[in-house]
Structure 1
Amino acid sequence: MDKEMLEILKRLETKIDGIETKVNGIETKVNGIETKVDGIETKLNGVVEQTADLLEFRSETSKKINQIKDDVEVIKKDLCFVEEATAKNWRDIANLRAVK
């Protein structure tokens, strides 16, 4: 009976050792996963920061483009005025030459 108990205990000990080995393997894998998750979080934070920078750049660029559009419109109006004034001046010059 004692031999049977010892045999049973040895088998239990062997099984427990196997379970411990598996648990240690699982712990190692979990640690690896945690490391990878930390790396992913770091990369994700970088992406979030870059996205914020890009959104700010986009907003600033959009404002500058709108200002350039406004400036171009003003220049167009000024150029139109200059063309009209130049045409009038050429008419005046032609009239003055005709009077001579």
Structure 2
Amino acid sequence: MENQEVLQQILKELQSVNQRLDKLEAGQGELKDNQANIENKLDSVVEQTVDLKEFKTETNNKLDTVVEKIGAIEAVTKENLYDIAKLKLIK
């Protein structure tokens, strides 16, 4: 009888261990799914970062062009002011 009780106790412990193992496997599956979701989100962030970097570069190039044009306009305006002053003196 005692052997039967011991065997039943061992069987119960094995069932308990098996249940815990099932829970661990389920948890591991959830972790893998969550990791895949995080990787997808990270890929999206990387893509957005690349797009923003390209936008920044394009914007800086356009601003540089505008600054150059403003410099040219200032030079022409300065020259025009001198010409206007000379014309006023001629009168």
- The structural deviation recorded for 1:12 is 1.1
Residue deviations 1:2-29 (CA, integer Å, cap 9, x gap): x222222211111110000000001111
Partner of residue 47, structure 2: 49
Give the count of matched residue pairs: 91
Matches within 5 A, 1:79-98: 79-92=77-90, 94=91
Partner of residue 98, structure 1: none
Separation (CA, whole Å) in 1 of partners of 2:67 and 2:9? 85
Question: Residue type of the partner of 2:38?
Answer: I
- The structural deviation recorded for 1:34 is 1.1
| 1:64 equivalent in alignment to 2:72 | no
Partner of residue 14, structure 1: 12
Give the percent of matched residue pairs that are identical in Structure 1 and Structure 2.
25
The TM-score normalised by the length of structure 2 is 0.92
- The structural deviation recorded for 1:39 is 0.9
Q: Structure 2: give runs of 5+ residues left out of the alignment.
A: none
Q: Structure 1: give runs of 5+ residues left out of the alignment.
A: 95-100
Separation (CA, whole Å) in 1 of partners of 2:39 and 2:63? 36
Q: Give every structure 1 segment of 4 or more consecutive aligned residues whose post-TM-superposition deviation is greater than 3 Å.
A: none
Q: Name the Cα RMSD after superposition.
A: 1.1
Partner of residue 74, structure 2: 76
